[in-house]
Amino acid sequence: MTTPHDVTLIPGDGIGPEITRTTLDILEAAGAPIIWRECVGGVTAMETVGEPLPQATLESIEATGVALKGPLTTPIGSGFRSVNVALRKHFDLFANVRPAVTILPAARYPDVDLVIVRENTEGLYAGIEHFIGMENDPRAAAESVMLITRYGSQRIVRFAFEYALAHGRRLVTLVHKANILKCTQGLFLEVGREVAAEYEGRVEFDDKIVDATAMQLALDPYRFDVIVTGNMFGDILSDQVAGLIGGLGFAPGANLGERAAIFEAVHGSAPDISGQGIANPTSFLLASCLMLDHLGEAPVAARVRAALQRTLDEGAARTRDLGGSAGTVEFGDAVIERMERPTS
């Protein structure tokens, strides 16, 4: 008998609790051996315990090492730039992995299958910025520092190559702006080429300037396999590739580090439709599949993905974003009906 995994569950804000309930029902039907440790964050935490990132939530993730997190809203005036960023910094979740796989029938870009590996802790998002006062104007100018370290560059590029090897990927493309930012992006490119040499003969490597990459993703996304890049470029490109496959509602994310792994839907909390029971749970469901893969439960993840694909292929239950009228629960029930039951 499989030993259950302890996993921290953060349902999140807005539509988070709705898509969480449906996702948990699907995982139970798939036979996922998980014991959930439910915690709070964001606005929900602020309303219940008075802080957006409670110590109890951090301690739970420390203990379990794995979390499944719904969309969080950072409360205004809470002192946090972002609860999500705070989690990444606290656990040093240096690698953000965003797979983009076409699962929608008749998609504009069929058969897309690529992965963005984004450095998650450095670059402009490190938050090293300040105002500069001039002529009695304390905010006359603003300055932000792009922090790139050799260590951070080495570990994210090496992560991308190891990911490629583990998942049978053929090519790693390093995306940069070293033609203009000679020092910061130049260091990232220099380190990337050094690390790539260690994998020569096992994984192919090339590098591209970020603006050219954005254009080529729109023209021919099939030329890419694994893209590794810095924090801000990764943020932008990962949303672009989500657009290739139908939008953020079909894009899961994983934040990985040495101490912990947090899996999430990459869309927001959508307060405008919260409580209406109409949200599409696909992104969160796919995030749970990434979590299952991480836990060594690949057969369970495969059952979930197969049932989801059958549901979409048959058009059995279409949520409003897919042009239908099915609600969150109805969509989840359709996935469960198409689930291959686990063997005992």
DSSP 133-163: EETTEEEEEEEE--B--HHHHHHHHHHHHHH
Given this model, what pLDDT does residue 75 score?
A: 75
Average pLDDT over residues 174-186: 97
The predicted-structure confidence for 300-322, as pLDDT tens digits, reads as follows: 999 999 999 999 999 989 999 88
Whether residue 320 is found in the same domain as residue 271: yes
Whether residue 166 is found in the same domain as residue 202: yes
Which of 211, 220, 222, 313 is labelled catalytic?
Answer: 211
The model's confidence at residue 341, banded by pLDDT at 50, 70 and 90, is: confident
Whether residue 71 is found in the same domain as residue 131: no
Whether residue 39 is found in the same domain as residue 132: no
End-to-end CA separation in angstroms for the chain: 9
Whether residue 58 is found in the same domain as residue 156: no
Q: Which of 164, 16, 41, 23 is nearest to 95 (CA)?
A: 164
- Domain assignment present for residue 251? The answer is no
- Domain assignment present for residue 142? The answer is yes
Whether residue 214 is found in the same domain as residue 278: no
**Rounded CA gap, 183 and 180, in Å?**
9
Do residues 13 and 269 make contact, with C-beta atoms less than 8 angstroms apart?
yes
Does residue 321 have an active-site annotation? no
Does residue 211 have an active-site annotation? yes
Among 189, 212, 245, which residue terminates a domain?
245
Which of 109, 125, 163, 199 is labelled catalytic?
Answer: 125
Whether residue 239 is found in the same domain as residue 276: no
pLDDT > 90? residue 101: yes
Among 215, 245, 275, which residue terminates a domain?
245
Given this model, what pLDDT does residue 124 score?
A: 92
Whether residue 265 is found in the same domain as residue 239: no
- Domain assignment present for residue 116? The answer is no
Which of 109, 199, 207, 235 is labelled catalytic?
Answer: 235
- Overall pTM > 0.75: yes
Among 223, 245, 267, which residue terminates a domain?
245
pLDDT > 90? residue 82: no
Assign 8 to helix, strand or coil.
strand
The model's confidence at residue 79, banded by pLDDT at 50, 70 and 90, is: low
Whether residue 143 is found in the same domain as residue 194: yes
Given this model, what pLDDT does residue 1 score?
A: 57
- Domain assignment present for residue 216? The answer is yes
Which of 69, 163, 177, 333 is labelled catalytic?
Answer: 177
For 97, the token pair is 């992995």
Q: Which helix (H) or strand (E) holds 301?
A: helix 298-314
Q: How many domains does the chain have?
A: 2
Phi/psi zone of residue 229: left (φ > 0), alpha (ψ -120 to 50 degrees), beta?
A: beta
Residue 288, domain extent:
1-91+259-344
CATH, residue 23: 3.40.718.10
**Rounded CA gap, 39 and 60, in Å?**
8
Average pLDDT over residues 21-32: 97
- Domain assignment present for residue 114? The answer is no
Does residue 125 have an active-site annotation? yes
Whether residue 288 is found in the same domain as residue 342: yes
The predicted-structure confidence for 217-273, as pLDDT tens digits, reads as follows: 999 999 999 999 999 999 999 999 999 999 999 999 999 999 999 999 999 999 999
Share above pLDDT 90 across residues of the chain, in percent, rounded to a whole number: 90
Does residue 151 have an active-site annotation? no
Rounded (10°) CA dihedral 257, 260, 263, 268 = -80
Average pLDDT over residues 159-182: 97
Average pLDDT over residues 89-96: 96
